[in-house]
Each structure stands twice: as C-alpha cells, then as structure tokens.
Chain A
C-alpha cells in the first residue's frame, strides 16, 4: 500500500492560491463560530449533570437579544466571504480578450484537444506557462466535466453547446485532469494530464507536433468542400449573408431579435440554420446536422472567426454567450 499521506493539493495558478486562502480563512471563521457550541455542550453536560450541586435558579426560557445576535452576526461575517468568493467566480467567467483559445471535445471516455495552429492531442494537453488560456469546450455525447485540481477549476462540458473555461498556469509541471461529471461506465478512466511548459519549450513542442495547417485554414478547406462557399462568398449567385467581419458583432435577425455572432451562434446556424435567420434573408440554407463532427464544427467556427472583425473584440458578458 502507498503510505504517503497527502494533505493539500499543489497550486499551479494565482487563482488556486486565492481559493486556498479563501477556504482557509473561512474555515477559521467557522471554527470561531462553532467552538462555543462544542465547548458549551461538553461543559454544560458536566456542570449540569443530574445530581450536581450547580445553581439552577432563574432559568431563562429565551432571550431575544441573544437570538438576534447569533442569527445576524455570523450571517454578516459570512457575507464578506460570499462577496469575495463571488468575485473570484465571476472572474472565471470573464476570459481576458487576448487569451489563447484551445478547443476541447469530450466524448465517452476521452478528451480531445486542438491548438490554434492545428496541433491535436488526446488526454494530454500542453499549454504555455504564464499565458491566459481559454478553453472552448463541447461534448459529443453526455455531460462531462473538465476538472484540474491543481488549478482549482472545473466546468461542465455539454453536448450541443459551447462552455468555456480559462486559466493562467504560472508554475510549469504536469498536473492531473479528471472528468468529474459521472459519464457512464469508464467515467473514472476519463483522466488525462495538463503539461504546463515554459513559453519557449511550448513553442518548441508546437513545432514538433505535426499539423495539417492551422485551424482556420483547415476550416477554410471544409468551408469549400461542404459547399458553404457556394452561397456565402461575395461572387455567389445565391443570396446568403457574407461572413466577412461577422464574428463578435451584434447581428439583427429576421424576427427583430439581435444576437451576438459568437461561437455558439455560428455552430447553431450550421446545424439548425432556420432557427436564427439573419434579417433580410430567406430561410433556405440546408442543415448540416449529422454531416459535420464537433471537431469540424470547431474548425468552421475558427475560419469564420478569422474573417474578422479584427481580433481583440471585447469579451462578451456571459449572459450574451448563450
């Protein structure tokens, strides 16, 4: 038997250190608030045991001041921690605009990764240290969850939808990746590694890893092969909206709604084109559901993204990303 007794997980990011401090400080507060309960139960049980000579006159039946204070004071103290924890959490939902984006496709029971340059990996993700990395994640089947204990982060990965997660791992090393949402028979084998490399080594690794061209150019090839370009390019005879400069912009729809053209919108428009039709166009595009895989969808999204507008669009509030 392995007799090593681990007590605290390694922290590989500034966020992880903040979460550790949060839980340590909050635990201290909890001990402070409950120590009286534990001490007094034992003390009273001894002092007021049946037959003891302790004074039992003037027994109180209640005390409103006491009741109010033990309801309100712990609550207010806890609220301070609530606020800090909520701020940390909201940070997790706002990836920095210049994050490097890596695509993640989960399936029973495997993690697939694709780097912007087209390098692909399975169950073993290489990332540069000290850089903001944003994961765009989706699932091919059931719900999974991307959990890296060393980074203190976790996000469920859903079929039919993109969820995202970002981190900045500042300590090079190899860390565990675990699926934490029960996903069927081999759930506990859906594990992998995150290898955090110093930036130079990461560049070298990218060079060594084979690639069939970056994601956007692979997406361009798909765009042509699937016949998308036949309608969506400027010289086309069929009237379809141009995709140049589309990504990240508010787009009016034929039913008067305005949506932001993000990853999810582009994905949905490929699979269910008649749900959100751009204003001024007819619902005539055929669906590609069943004809393109999640990996291919991510490439098509990368291509549309590459058509602009210019990068560094402000990140969208999470509410609008749905």
Chain B
C-alpha cells in the first residue's frame, strides 16, 4: 500500500497511510482503518478462491454428462465455494472492512472501543483462513457447506474435521468484531451524535453485531457436537448411534438463517447511505428504516424452520415458520419503498457507486420476492433444494450483498485512499455486473421450477440450454468483477487527489481529510445536525 513519496498529496503526508510503511507498521497496527485494509486484502483473496470454484462449477455444467471433474471432485468444488464464500467472504465482507473503517469516522470517534481486540479478530480470521487453505490443499471436503448429518459425521470421506475447525475459529473473529461495534456505538459517539443522528449504516451494523454476538456461538456449539460424533462416535445426530439428524438441522439453521441477515443488513446500510448520497437528499423515513434493521435482526431469529418444510418437522411448526417468514419480509419491503421515495425530488447523480446501489435495489427485490414464494408452503415443497433456491439466495447474497460491497468500495475508495478512479470504467463495471448477474441467475429460477435439484453434477439433457445461458452470464460477471482490480489499483498511483468530499454529500466522514489522519479528525468533532442534512455545510472549519 505504499505510495511513492513524490506523489503524495499534502493530506496524504499526515494521513493514516503515512504513519509507517513497514510490514510491522501494518501487521502490528491497532488503527481501525489499517485493520480494515488488512481485512480488505484477505477477503479479496478468499473472494478470488471462492470465485474460481464457482467458475469451475459453471464450466463443468456446460455439458449434462461429459465432465472434466469427477462426481467427487464436483462435490468438493461446490462445498469449497460455499464454505469460502459464506464464512470467509460474505460474513466479514462489509462489516470487517467498511464497518471497521467507517463506524468510528461516522460517529466521530478516534478508533473502535477495543483496538487490540480488533487486531486480534483479524489474526483469528487469518488463522481460520489458513486452516481452510489447508483443507483445500489436502483435498477438500464433500458435504456441502451445510454439513448435514449423518452424511458429514458417518459417511463423508473429506476433511470434515479440519473444515469444521476452520469455521469454529473464524466464528470467534465474528464475535469479537460484533462485540467491538456494539460497545463502540454505545460508548464512543461524539458530543451531539445522538442515536437519532446515527447514519443508517451505523444502525445496520449495530443490528448485525447483535446477531453476530448472539448467533455465532450456536454455530460453534453445533460444530463441536458434529466433531464429537465424527471423531468420538458420541451419538447425537446419527440415528444408528441413538441420535436425531433433524436436531442438527434445527441447530445449524438457528445460526445460519440469522447469518443471512449478518450478510445482508450491512449491505442495506450501505445502500441507505448511497441512495441518500445519490439523491443529495435526506433519507425518506429515517426512523422506519432504522427500526426495520432491528426488526429484521429480531424476527430473523424466529424463521429457521423454513429451511425444513420437507425435512420431516411437524407440519404445524412449518405453518408457523411460514407465517413468520412472511412477517420478516415486511421490514425489508419498508426499506425498499423508502429508498425509492428518497429519490423523489432528489438531485440525482448516477456515478458508479450509485449504479451499484440501484443494482442492489433491483436484485435484492427479486431475491426477496422469490424468498416470499419459498415461504409459501406448497410452493416450497416443489422448489426446495432445487436451483430455484440457489437463484433466490444468490440474488440476495450476490445481487444484494456483493453489489453493496462494490458500491461501498466505489463510494468510500476516495476516502480510504485519497484518490479518484475512473468513473467511466466504474460505470462499465457496474453495468457488466448487473447484466452478467441476471444472465447467470435468472435462468436458474426456471431450472428450479423445472425440477433441477441443487448439487447435481449430472443433469437431464433437456435442461442444458438454461445451464449454458447461466454459464455465459457467469463469464460476463467474472469480467465485471475483475475490472475494478485494474482501475482501482491504477488510481492508487495515478488517480487525482480526492479532496475531503468529492461527492458533495453529508456525513461526518466527509468532513475530515482524505485519507483521514491517524486520529480520524484533526480536532474532535461536535455534531449539531441530523444525518443526511442537506444542503450540506461547506466543511473545513473543524479540520
């Protein structure tokens, strides 16, 4: 990350980036901004690993039967894709990078509440990541990312134990990050930064942190029990040892459904910022959007059984879970309608970050609605465990969260690095991703309704056309995701200086120099206005 000395702007010379260029100054840093960058680099590596696995899957599925992967190899590839993307990219993606970087800046603090704990959480993440890389090199794991029992405990041949240990380890990193955010938001808000003035980004991360702290331990417990059965043959989940396989599913989804909101809520926070910034206008219905985040976090704990409508759980439990799954969609719908209303009478600029935000709204809406279809019991019986579900959650996780991640990257890049990048290439990338994404995943809804089960290596030949379309879309998507590497890295050395507020938007983080100084603000800020107060005051007096 070192920038050649003659190219430094005056602001960069006193910035957090100038605080030291040695490896030690990075690896032993307690600066939340530097830790955010450590996270950004590490999750990018895992995004690349998971993406490579996805590319292999889409290539192999071009043909219904003639494949270059064996059935076993295919199973290990999609398992790796799921494990890496869920735990090593999506869950830390926005919180550990942009949350880490921006929460102190947005609330007017010098750092997170526990800077050393923050660094520790990154080291724990790296340790978990290293174990995952070991699993990959040793030959992978063949259970699917869901590790259903008794397949995972008694039948699978892959490295289940190492994979479970990696996930348990990385869970502690999540817990520490969540804990740090909660305490920071409670204790380190600048004078005048009342709860009602918090940006929605901070509200969303607060809600996310509650889930991280409350749900992640359940995953650890579940995986420890899984290990006890696999290694020591303690009968917990396998009926031949006296266990109950559905117990595993209840425990796994009790974590993994809230985990969907861990992945999604930070993205919703990003989009709330981006929509307001794009329209240069106050966010419509602030309190509705803020409380919707908390409502999603709370109700999200009560819907796990919708993953089990055909698993053999009580029919009446299914009816209740179906109802609650419709309830949890209400706060999401509130957000979407409020974002739309924010654009009304706005002063709209469509730079690259805002195109990503619009993509998010469109793709998340489709993902959410198909989620409602899945909540309908009789529909779910047909499309459960088919490509319909695959398409649905990729619309949420990739169309939603990853679009928000790229939107955040393009929006705050000038703040993080102090440099502007090419808007032309940014817009091209946003549009390629939007088109490529839809071409990849929309056909999968149709495949699913036609009865294509997920995790099928060999598939009926009559479904081939849809698979070929999907793979074609994936290649466009790969180009869209690859482009930003080029023009963003190019901007580090060649980009124009960003200045404090290149977008002309509200927000405490835009009142400090870009990149920010080590202590975030040149003098401690005092907040006198609400979030999204437009027209903005031309800043400079506090810095």
User: Would you call A152 and B381 a contact (CB within 8 A)?
Assistant: yes
A101 interfacial contact with B, CB 8 Å? no
- Given the contacts A147-B451, A188-B455, A89 and B381 also touching, CB distance less than 8 Å: yes
- Given the contacts A26-B376, A156-B311, A8 and B346 also touching, CB distance less than 8 Å: no
**B-chain residues with CB within 8 Å of residue A54 when the two chains form the complex:** 345
User: Would you call A161 and B312 a contact (CB within 8 A)?
Assistant: yes
B288 interfacial contact with A, CB 8 Å? yes
B348 interfacial contact with A, CB 8 Å? yes
- Given the contacts A1-B465, A4-B462, A81 and B376 also touching, CB distance less than 8 Å: yes
B450 interfacial contact with A, CB 8 Å? yes
Assembled-state Cα–Cα distance A5/B461 (Å): 11
**A-chain residues with CB within 8 Å of residue B341 when the two chains form the complex:** 60, 63, 66
User: Would you call B463 and A182 a contact (CB within 8 A)?
Assistant: no
A256 interfacial contact with B, CB 8 Å? no
Assembled-state Cα–Cα distance A22/B373 (Å): 10
Number of A-B contacts (CB under 8 A): 267
Closest chain B residue to A149 by CB distance?
B451
- Given the contacts A62-B284, A153-B382, A180-B453, A71 and B464 also touching, CB distance less than 8 Å: no
A9 interfacial contact with B, CB 8 Å? yes
Closest chain B residue to A189 by CB distance?
B458
A158 to chain B, nearest CB (A): 6
User: Would you call B348 and A188 a contact (CB within 8 A)?
Assistant: no
* Chain B: number of interface residues, binned into ranges: 35 or more
Assembled-state Cα–Cα distance A23/B448 (Å): 13
Closest chain B residue to A16 by CB distance?
B382
**A-chain residues with CB within 8 Å of residue B288 when the two chains form the complex:** 62, 67
Find B378's partner among A5, A22, A186 (CB 8 Å cutoff): A22
Tell me if B's interface is mostly helix, strand, loop or mixed. Answer: helix
User: Would you call B456 and A37 a contact (CB within 8 A)?
Assistant: no
**A-chain residues with CB within 8 Å of residue B458 when the two chains form the complex:** 188-189
User: Would you call A182 and B144 a contact (CB within 8 A)?
Assistant: yes
B7 interfacial contact with A, CB 8 Å? no
B291 to chain A, nearest CB (A): 11
Find A185's partner among B71, B154, B334 (CB 8 Å cutoff): B71
Q: Which of B91-99, B110-118, B256-264, B313-321 has 4 or more CB atoms under 8 Å from chain A?
A: B313-321
Closest chain B residue to A27 by CB distance?
B373
Assembled-state Cα–Cα distance A23/B156 (Å): 37
**B-chain residues with CB within 8 Å of residue A179 when the two chains form the complex:** 453
Find B318's partner among A7, A55, A89, A161 (CB 8 Å cutoff): A89
Binary contact track B145-158/A, C-beta < 8 Å → 1, others 0: 01010110011100
User: Would you call B378 and A88 a contact (CB within 8 A)?
Assistant: yes
A228 interfacial contact with B, CB 8 Å? no
A301 to chain B, nearest CB (A): 17
B64 to chain A, nearest CB (A): 8
User: Would you call B385 and A154 a contact (CB within 8 A)?
Assistant: yes
A-B contact pairs, 19 of them (CB 8 A): A1-B464, A41-B340, A45-B350, A48-B344, A71-B333, A71-B334, A74-B330, A81-B376, A82-B323, A86-B322, A89-B378, A143-B151, A159-B238, A176-B460, A178-B451, A181-B385, A182-B143, A186-B71, A187-B455
Mark B residues whose CB is within 8 Å of A.
Answer: 64, 71-72, 75, 142-144, 146, 148, 150-151, 154-156, 238-240, 245-246, 279-282, 284-288, 309-312, 314-316, 318-319, 322-323, 326-327, 329-330, 333-334, 336-338, 340-341, 343-350, 358, 361-362, 365, 369, 372-373, 375-379, 381-382, 384-386, 446, 449-451, 453-466, 468
